[in-house]
Chains A and B, each alone.
Chain A
Amino acid sequence: MIREFIKGLSITFKHMLPGNSTTVQYPRKGHRLPTAERFRGLHRLVPAQDREKCVACYLCPTVCPAKCITVESAENEKGEKYPAVYKIDLLRCIFCGYCVEACPVEAIEMTGDYELANYKREDFTFEKQRLIR
């Protein structure tokens, strides 16, 4: 019995020694845990050489279960289709990742970015400029 008592005490004492804490002081600078590779955070439009990869095929707004993606297509001077408007309303988005799966040209991705809080409703609508990264 005594041996078990001492064993228990030694375990807690070992935990107390510096460097054994597992706490991450989250909101503090530099205290972040790495996100998983498949983590579905904020969307990102993949850039190509001179513009975004997106060809404005409307597959992502079609598949989107939350109906949060707005696309308006246009044609540029080379005759290529591109999205004149590409908007994601993050207040409606459920981060399911169907848009990424549906995309035929791998133009949209999900990043590990999860700190999406904001002060104004308008700031949750992500336009094309904010999505291309």
Chain B
Amino acid sequence: MDPVLLSFSNDPLLFSGVMVLKIIVTFSVLMGIVAYATWVERKVIGHMQTRLGPMETGWHGLLQPIADGLKLFFKEDIIPAEASKVSFVLAPVMILVPALITIAVVPFGPDLVIGGYIIPQQITDLNIGILFVLAMAGLGIYGIVLAGWSSNSKYSLLGGIRSTAQVISYELAAGLSLVAVFMLGESLSLRDIVAVQIQPLNQVAGFLGFLPEWIPNWHIFSQPVAFVLFVICGMAEINRTPFDLPEAETELVSGFCTEYSSMKYAMFFMAEYANMVIISAIAVTLFLGGWHGPFAGSVNLLIKIFGFMFFFIWIRATWPRVRYDQLMFLGWKVFLPLALANVMLTGLVVVLLQ
């Protein structure tokens, strides 16, 4: 009997069990990375500014995330009297949930064959995978806008408004830079996109036959412009320096989360770091071959994700925030034309090579 894809109809019990296991493992790994990303960020930025970062809680501050979590958990949860209560409580959930469920479509390894069933190492393989990712990223922004609006504070409102203006200026460019990837992979499913990138480069592009066999067809080689655009827009998407305008401690106190305290504030932070992991995972899956590499599947993915996260932290330690109008200029006048030109060029090459 040939192995068949495990689905709910051919073995409901096993399917549910495997699904729950996959969700629990992915979720706990994601939360672990989120917790220790805060520690790594503080350590790396500290050392880059010739400080030490956390040193007192545990060996070199290793217990710092736990201490931070406990501290925030036991803080008083304040809802401002003039705030709009329902949306004030809803906003942190609206930003955290989309951030967490995006990981469901990221493939983290090759298919496993167990007991005559093919089990993909991916929570769910949506055929519109990347559309789902973009939709969830867009939905997360509503959380920021809602938080800014419902707080009834001028700083929060300014942060929320900045976020709306930011989202329309970078998301077009981010979406268009991904279009070029779909034109090469001819699929929106992340699983298929990884499958395309696993093939050796010299077979996919015949004129590159002189290259050795081990160089894979990662999209970073065929779409370098789209890769750079997506990474920069990704930084804007997850509100990280140099595009952390909605938060902007130096200008807006703390932007959209000024009025939040206790676990609601912690949820914003978890969402920020979860988004960082997600954007790294998506960038890796789309451009750097996903789980493909010299080690076992998910290890490759994690190494690449950590590389990206280090890069984001490194950039935060190096560059100041861009001004508001500079971001608009970048989004509309530089990235959008570049992304459009990249789509045109890719289309031309695809047609000519057929």
Contacts and interface: CB of A to CB of B under 8 A. Distances in A.
A22 interface: yes
B333 interface: no
Contacts of A20: 47, 50
B311 to A, nearest CB: 9
Interface string A1-43: 0000100110111011000111101000000000000000000
Interface string B38-63: 00000010011111100100000000
Contacts of B317: 12
A28 to B, nearest CB: 9
A23 B319 contact: no
Contact of A15 (B48, B55, B315): B48
Contact of B50 (A9, A13, A22, A25): A22
A2 B44 CA distance: 23
Nearest to A13: B314
Contacts of B10: none
Nearest to B315: A9
B203 interface: no
Contact of B318 (A12, A22, A25): A12
A15 B50 contact: yes
Contact of A21 (B44, B52, B319): B52
Nearest to B319: A8
Contacts of A13: 48, 314
Interface residues of B, number: 13
B55 A21 contact: no
A interface bracket (residues with beta carbon within 8 Å of B): 10 to 19
Interface in A78-129: none
Given A8-B318, A9-B314, A16 B55 contact: no
A15 B319 contact: no
Contacts of B319: 5, 8
A99 B42 CA distance: 48
Contacts of B49: 15
Interface string B299-331: 000000000000000110111000000000000
A68 to B, nearest CB: 36
Interface string B47-81: 11111100100000000000000000000000000
Given A8-B319, A25-B52, A25-B55, A15 B314 contact: no
Nearest to B56: A25
Contacts of B48: 12-13, 15-16
Most buried by B among A9, A20, A22: A9
A21 B318 contact: no
Most buried by A among B48, B51, B52: B48
B33 to A, nearest CB: 20
Interface string A38-66: 00000000000000000000000000000
Most buried by B among A11, A15, A16: A16
A25 B52 CA distance: 9
A38 to B, nearest CB: 28
Contacts of A21: 47, 50-52
14 contacts: A5-B319, A9-B318, A12-B48, A12-B314, A12-B318, A13-B48, A15-B48, A15-B49, A16-B44, A16-B47, A20-B50, A21-B51, A21-B52, A22-B51
Given A15-B50, A21-B47, 19 more contacts: A8-B318, A9-B314, A9-B318, A12-B48, A12-B314, A12-B317, A13-B48, A15-B48, A15-B49, A16-B44, A16-B47, A16-B48, A21-B50, A21-B51, A22-B51, A23-B50, A23-B51, A23-B52, A25-B55
Interface of B: 44, 47-52, 55, 314-315, 317-319
